[in-house]
Structure 1
Amino acid sequence: MVPGQPVLSCPSTELLLFRGLERRLRGENSLSRALRTLDMVGSGLVGRLPRGCRLCIGGAKMVLFVTGLCNQGCFYCPISEKRRGKDDVWANEVLVTSDEDILAEAEVSGAKGTSITGGEPLLRVERVIGYLDLLKECFGEEHHVHLYTSCKALEPGVLTRLWEHGLDELRLHPFGREDWRCIEEATKLGGDMSIGVEIPAIPGELPYLLEFLPFLESIGVEFLNLNELEFSETNREELLARGYTPVGGLSMGAKGSEDVAKAVLRHAQELDRLTVHYCPSRFKDRIQLRHRLVRRSRRVAKPHELVTEDGLLVKGVVYPGSKSLEEAAKVLVGEYGVPPDMVWIDKEKNRVETSLEVVETLGEDRRIVGEGWRLAIVEEYPTRDRFETLVIPLSEKRSRVRDKSL
């Protein structure tokens, strides 16, 4: 271990394979109509992946949740109780109280773009416009911004304003044939904005989707994103009441949703231009979220912290009993020769942080144990709340953490 440098774990085979594919997609110029599987968890693509998706896959998109208010009442809405119906703004996992919170989160996460979502974002049009101006002014026109909204919330005047203020990509959610005209109008009035459609792949709706495909192609829509219908704590009862059942295991998807999406992908190969992309629920956790956490961890990791392949931070921690945190830190530096940059006082959690090697050394010192110092290995998210996923007292077997960081 080199003092002053975080230890970065080797990426898994799954990540290495996916990163190679991501690079090929980024450099792709032709619109291949062959159906491709993008990863080891089942996402599929016909055509060229939208730029917003490419950035999201790489963990390079900040999710800007601009309001939890919504007037659509979708039975499959997965938004948590923490956000649903509340007019709050979140930048990734950070509750926003000022513009500075948004800018700081974009910086620390290394975001190259932003996904604006909700709730229904366009219930707060002026807020959205203000954030577009903020992001473009601070990060430049190359900072890619896409907005996800319903057709029912979109008005011609609003669409023009979004384009004028720099929106790069619009993702529309129609609720049926009555919204198709709205999509067509968006393709005419959206300037050089990329126009796409994003909807869940609902079991039983294959005939509707197969009719929808040629319509989207005929009006110049660039892409159709199909998300796997997934269960959450907030929509579970609604989905079960309508006869949907979960796949089971580690998947939160609904049975039949992936079958619908794959059937649409097969038919999309017969089209000339429209991109169709299927994003399963497990893809969000195993690829998108992991990449975002890895990007963030590499930017925020302190010298004593190790970054796992999942983007989590692992460290040794000391709870120094009767000694103050400052006294314990002095002992580590003065008596054990730990470099000062490998010692961090965490007043919020009432502990002293250091490396795994240091706490292992301390664990062999009877004096330290006799003075009531408690030692542990901690694994936590690199987010502002630093949610702990694992705490192992040093007396327990430590191989669980070590194996994950090899």
Structure 2
Amino acid sequence: MDVIYEAYRMKALGAGITGGDPILEIGRVIEIIDKLKNEFGSDFHIHLYTTGRYVNDDVMKELVSAGLDEIRFHPVKELYLNAVKIALKYDIDVGLELPAIPNEGDKIVRLVKWAEENNVKFVNLNELELNARNYLNLNSKGLHAKHGITGVEGSFDTALDVLKKFEEDKKITVHYCSSVYKDLVETRTRFFRIIKYNSKPYEEYTNEATIVRAIVKTNHKIPSLENFGEFNGSNEYSVSPGIIKDLLNEYTDLIDEIYIVEEHPDSRRLRVGEKLIYSKSKNS
């Protein structure tokens, strides 16, 4: 399974299952939990996110039996809090995930108090984010991004007001997660783990935890280039950006183009940047 491969690549200590709502694919979810637990042992922590809409006793029995450690509810309707009560009957950690919607602080406080009264372990307040799917809807409601950031203006202030009300509370833990933290800390930390255990000698990395390499394109076979990197096929070699000047001094007549590319380090290798730095046709 790809998830097993990816977990090995980064020496993961746990995994989160999200969607959509994963409960709609409960069979696949159970299969993933089983395989992860069988491969990495019972200490491999697995949590799952759900709205709660499709959670019932049968679902909870399957999840707990498979080894799920934690379930986090994002109750888009208060009706779905009934699913939280169902989950609380089982030997599993239960938490709430709530968006910090500006001017809805009173509603959030009420939900946190409900969670406290029902022995929910924690509540995570998430900064409301603008994205390609929701920005028209949010903008129509007067919600706009802070300058240069995807987080919605006023979301942090709303979350802060809620946190202050519960800062002395010992019965429930309330966290806040900003959009910047998710993007710059969680994702970057995961990428750095992948880089630490999987980067190749010719690959360099940035402070944003992306991989940088040079791609040398040539219509000639240059076996000695493999001493500095590797042959990708299709007349391409991957080498360190630091040796480009030396390569051009030695193989100018054989090299057609050189690109610097920047990619995510996970198995998808999403390319986030590409720059042509040498072209024989343009330099001749």
Q: Give the equivalent residue in structure 1 for 2:161.
A: 263
Displacement of 1:395 in angstroms is 5.4
Cα offset, 1:176, TM superposition: 4.1
In the alignment, residue 217 of structure 2 is paired with which amino acid? Answer: Y
| Equivalence for 1:374 | 257
Is the contact made by 1:239 and 1:245 (CA closer than 8 Å) also made in structure 2? yes
Task: Confirm or deny: 8 A CA contact 2:257 2:278 kept in the other structure.
Answer: no
- Report if the CA contact (8 A) 1:319-1:375 is conserved: yes
> Aligned match of 1:332 in 203, 207, 225?
225
Helix, strand or coil at the partner of 1:220:
coil
Contact 1:198 1:224 in 2 (8 A): yes
Alpha-carbon deviations, 1:360-399, whole Å to 9, x = none? Answer: 212234xx32345323333222133323333344459xxx
Structure 2 CA distance for aligned equivalents of residues 357 and 211 of structure 1: 57
Structure 2 portions without partners, runs of 5+:
280-284
Q: How has the CA–CA distance of structure 1 residues 377 and 173 changed in structure 2, closer, same or farther, with 3 Å as cutoff? A: closer
Q: Distance in 1 between matches of 2:65 and 2:266?
A: 33
- CA distance in structure 2 between the partners assigned to 1:182 and 1:240 by the alignment: 31
The 8 Å contact of residues 17 and 48 in structure 2, kept in 1 or not, is answered as yes
CA offsets 1:217-273 (integer angstroms, 9 cap, x no match): 121111001111111111111112222222121x11112211111111111113222
- What residue ranges of structure 1 are gaps of 5+ in the alignment? 1-99, 334-339, 397-406
Q: TM-score, normalised by structure 1?
A: 0.65
* Native 8 Å contact 1:376 1:393 kept in 2: yes
CA–CA separation in structure 2 for the residues paired with 1:390 and 1:116: 29
Encode CA deviations 1:304-355: one digit per residue, 9 max, x unaligned.
11232322222233112x31xxx22x1436xxxxxx3x3201126x411122
Letter in 2 for 1:213: V
Paired position in structure 1 for 2:45:
144
Rounded Cα–Cα distance in structure 1 between residues aligned with 2:64 and 2:137: 36
Find the residue that maps to 1:299 and give its secondary structure: helix
Contact 1:360 1:394 in 2 (8 A): no
Q: Distance in 1 between matches of 2:216 and 2:255?
A: 10
Q: Which moved more, 1:129-138 or 1:234-243?
A: 234-243
Percent identical pairs in the alignment equals 32
**TM alignment of 1:298-337, pairs within 5 A:** 298-320=196-218, 322-323=219-220, 327-328=221-222, 330-332=223-225
For 1:183, the equivalent position in structure 2 comes to 84
Distance 1:176 1:357 in 2: 55
Alignment partners' CA distance in 2, 1:344 and 1:124: 40
Contact in 2 for aligned 1:359/1:376 (Cα 8 Å): no
1:118 maps to 2:11: no
Q: Quick one: which of 109, 131, 136 aligns to 2:32?
A: 131
2:232 to 334, 346, 364: 346
Find out whether 1:203 has 2:92 as its counterpart: no
- 1:174-253 matches, within 5 Å, as 174-187=75-88, 189-191=89-91, 193-249=92-148, 251-253=149-151
Secondary structure at the residue paired with 2:252? helix
Is the CA contact (8 Å cut-off) linking 2:6 and 2:267 kept in structure 1?
A: no
1:291 equivalent in structure 2: 189
Q: Indicate the RMSD between aligned Cα atoms, in angstroms.
A: 2.0
* Aligned 8 A contact 2:225 2:237 in 1: no
